[in-house]
Amino acid sequence: MPQPITDIYLPRQAKVEQIIVENSQISTFVLAFSDHTYNNAFRHQPGQFMMVSMPHCGEAPISISSTPTRPGAIHLSVRRAGKLTAAMHGLRTGDTIGLRGPYGRPFPMEQLQKKDLLFVAGGIGLAPLRGVINGCLDQRDQFGTLTVLYGSRTPSDIAFQSDLGLWKKQGVDCRLTVDAAEPGWDGAVGLVTSLLDDLKPNVNQSTTLVCGPPLMFRAVLGRLASMGFSDHQVLTTMERHMKCGVGICRHCHMDGKMACADGPVFSLAELRQLKIMELDG
């Protein structure tokens, strides 16, 4: 007898509750499923993503930037990149979108416990790490020191400013750098790798979570290796074109792995096994 099969491709309606403008290109959408029962039961883990539907635009994967320790709302931080994300930037509070998920292998939070955590991000790359950082702060005693290194193009491009402010207040060592300074900026100028030079982490005790554009990623990896980080101590999340989100359609292929289902979170040790653009250049 045919058994009923869950319709894994059916998006659920979600409402935009709030929009936080992070910079000219990035906004964070605070969303809740219109079905309140479902919304209250919804759980995810940091590093996972949602498939977002916008009318006439199809679907795109967006990583969840909220933390599982604060259920009830899903935060999606979105950079304007293509047709669908541009449409999202036209959303207003009260509008509805389609969501399905969460999908993907999350950051291994249990393995991170007791560790000093070093977060290195560029631009929108802070979005998937934001949930991890907030999660750590909500269970502060479970984790060691928290350090955030964040690179932006210019001071006015610095996204997640309110988060950075809150994190600092809660004792997170947040260090910022920009590619190009503007009047009034007295912080660091240069690549995010230069921020690593000033750090003296306890490497054996640490894990690094890196997320950013391929050029930055490769530069950071080189620097981390020279600091003594092994490939197992470096975690990242991969960005790929995706359609199904569940490991079937294969758009996100990475030399045999599927970014959506085998990732998007990978350790550098795992990535070294693969022939991928991010490492080959």
List residues near other proteins by CB under 8 A: 2, 5-11, 13, 15, 34, 53, 55-60, 81-85, 95-98, 239-241, 243-244, 246-256, 261, 276-278
- Using the minimum distance from each CB to other proteins, give the nearer residue, 142 or 253: 253
The residues near 257 (Cβ < 8 Å, ≥ 6 apart) are: 263, 266, 274
Nearer to other proteins, 55 or 187 (CB): 55
> Looking at beta carbons only, is 25 or 113 nearer to other proteins?
25
> What is the nearest approach in angstroms of other proteins to the Cβ of residue 280?
10
Residue 216 belongs to what H/E stretch?
helix 214-227
Contact 119, 145 (CB under 8 A): no
When the beta carbons of 20 and 57 are compared against other proteins, the nearer one is 57
**Shorter beta-carbon distance to other proteins: residue 2 or 184:** 2
Smallest separation (angstroms) from other proteins to the CB of 92: 12
Tell me how far, at minimum, the Cβ of 254 lies from other proteins, in Å: 8
Instruction: Name the residue with tokens 């409402």.
Output: 15
Q: What is the largest CA-CA distance in the chain?
A: 71
Q: How far is the CB of 252 from other proteins (least distance, A)?
A: 8
Reference 216, options 152, 161, 274; nearest CA is: 152
Least distance in angstroms from the C-beta of 105 to other proteins? 12
Q: What Cα–Cα distance (Å) separates residue 134 from each residue in 126, 140, 211?
A: 12, 9, 16
Of 138 and 255, the one with the shorter C-beta distance to other proteins is: 255
Render the burial of 136-174: b for 16+ CB within 10 Å, e for the rest: bbeeeeebbebbbbbbbeebebbbbeebbeebeeeebeb
Q: How far is the CB of 119 from other proteins (least distance, A)?
A: 23
